[in-house]
Amino acid sequence: MESPMPEQDFFATSPGGLEGLLAAELTALGAEEVAEQRGGVRFRGELVTAYRACLWSRVANRVLLPVARFSAADGNALYAGARGVDWMALMQPGMSIAVDFGGMHPAVEHTHYGSLRVKDAVVDGCREASGERPDVDVEQPGFRINAHQVGEAVTLAIDLSGGSLHKRGYRRAGVGAPLKENLAAAMLLRAEWPALAGEGGGMVDPLCGSGTLLIEAALMAGDVAPGLLREHWGFQGWTGHDAGSWRQLEDEARERRHRGLPRLPPIVGYDHDAQAVRTALASIEAAGLVGRVHVERRELGDAEPPRKGCRPGLVATNPPYGERIGSHRSLSPLYARLGELLRERFPGWRAIILNGAGLEVGLKPERSWMVRNGPIQCRLERFAINESDSGRLVDEAASLVNRVRKNQRRLKSWRKRAGVDCYRLYDADIPEYALAVDRYETLEEGPWLHVQEYAPPPSVDQRDAARRLRTALAALPDATGVSAQQVAFKVRQRQRGPTQYQRQGESGRLYTVMEHGARVLVNFTDYLDTGLFLDHRPVREWIAANAAGATFLNLFAYTGVATVHAARGGALATTSVDLSTTYVDWTRRNLEANGYAQGRAHRLVRADCLKWLREAVHSGGQDYDLILLDPPSFSNSKRMQETLDIQRDYAQLIALAARLLSEHGVLIFSSNRRRFRLDEAALGGLRAQDCSEWSTPPDFQRNPGIHRCWFIRR
């Protein structure tokens, strides 16, 4: 009769906030004396218990076997403590090594230095004992050592897992920032997915990305050990490894997989990104789940429950976050549409959402937990979707939907006749929905909506306003036929000081749209505006029609779209002036997109326009046949020598610009400042023709004060 294995102490690490789930999991796996600690769970058991944790834990990061504990106030003491361990007695011959060092407020604060001192101690000890120095392999060593320090207390341990257990072995590259497998598993455990699956409930991920949630759901419901595909384990380089016990556990896991997979309920994923779908399918194949997990390309609004053989189950998803929690309100339409989808298509189901954007879906969570997804603190929210919720948002938004569709029909013939691909579709037509909705037809991804909310006055109840906004954002994709993933949202309010042109995001993604034959690069997420002022379309068209053989000056050039039109119209030379490095570069890219290179013919100047005008007038600079002067209403950029207030300073700006105007030239002055007034008497004999009504295109005629425009001549 074989003697029982001796019990030992082990420690399993986990992502922050998941220690309780890991403790319950280890208890179910036969561990004893289970105790949660920050960053993981301490437990006791035979070696086979640790093996079982390596093979079956869905939540753990690593399983560690402590081999030494000591105090170290500095790097030398850390070296001495590690040097006192007989590493040759622990390592199989010829093993390469790696050392991970970390902890809480460690006395040795620099983790790289800490790992280096432990590594030196191991290498020196092995060299003294055997005469040979072990190789270092930080990627996949044969023997991985974990050093953890809390204050001066150090624990050295063998990493039995040999690398993070979230790496199951099925993931295929292709989608950025994927959800880690053990966090996906934790989401499913919080949602009580095993019980739902056991009752025949299906699982749907409407934003499945690379398919991690789908695969983890299948492994869980099919009783498949998450470590069964891994080929490398840390205990294989340890002298205490019991190969027979490990083979027995693997054989048992394969038999359980064979019995469990045929019992899988329907598991379905959708994503609008074709590359994500391809990646998900490749990972599903690598996980051995072909024919058992279904993925297809669909827009969020087209997601639906499996059509047969499925009881109400679980919707689990990890929507995009943006750069920082709550910073990317551009994602609000996606979250709102997700909430409406749950109400509309999944009544009676349960849902769990990893919410890293801090945005509302319009449903009240029944439970929530704080977890970390890498560096991002997230709310894990679980919902019970009631039958009574179905259709409520759709009915409430009916007036908005009807108006948007009516506007689309009204503008259709004009757009076709004028060749307009980017236009304002809705502009606070209904007081309850104070939004501006612009539609852009991109060459890369088809239509986008750029939605801006006019901030409600203090007299409006904020909860009512937030509810109506969610209703509108959820309804707009279906009303317009635009994917919820391609609806960008921002709040437009009075901007002053340094917030006026504050960056909204960091995507850097530019899309190409067409305007009267010109290619224009726009950005939907990073700035308050897209880079294309749609209400100035007639002015740009006029510039293109009158630029042949002319010289053109674009002051406060922004992204240089007017410059592009001048170049396309046959201008002999263009000069574009703006203080922003970003906008000067954007102008250059717009020119290049249309085949015009920056140079003598197309000059770009980064400068304070007021200062540049004064210097140009003083030096007797060239005359221009066409000048566009479209300054901001207010600016106090730190790079400017003085503030600019257009109502106060317009006469000075016009006078300086007119000094650079050729004898028969035209100066186009425009302002978007509300209630702006131009006093022609202040222009010193210049003739100003008010062209505001002419310059307001049909899609902006609901808002005739969107801008004021004058053609000014000598």
Domain 394-493 has CATH 3.30.750.80: yes
* CATH no. for 8-159: 3.30.2130.30
Same topology, domains 181-390 and 394-493? Answer is: no
* Burial annotation 377-416 (CB, 10 A radius, 16+ → b, else e): ebbbbbbebeeebbeebbebbeebbebbeebbeebeeebe
Cα distance between residue 697 and residue 439, in whole Å: 15
614-665 pLDDT tens trace: 999 999 878 999 999 999 888 766 555 678 888 898 999 999 999 999 999 9
Place of tokens 């600019």: 644
Residue 2: the pLDDT is 47
Q: Is the dihedral of CA 304, 306, 312, 314 positive or negative?
A: negative
pLDDT band at 339 (very low <50, low <70, confident <90, very high): very high
Quote the percentage of the chain above a pLDDT of 90. Answer: 76
525-573 pLDDT tens trace: 888 899 999 999 999 999 999 999 999 999 999 999 999 999 999 999 9
Closest residue by Cα to residue 536 from 709, 690, 712: 709
Residue 681 CB: number of other CB atoms within 10 A?
8
Domain 511-713 has CATH 3.40.50.2300: no
CATH class held by domain 181-390? alpha beta
pLDDT band at 392 (very low <50, low <70, confident <90, very high): low
88 and 128 in contact (C-beta within 8 Å)?
no
* Residue 88 φ/ψ, nearest 5 degrees: -65, -30
Domain layout of the chain by residue ranges: 8-159, 181-390, 394-493, 511-713
39-92 pLDDT tens trace: 999 999 999 999 999 999 999 999 999 999 999 999 999 999 999 999 999 999
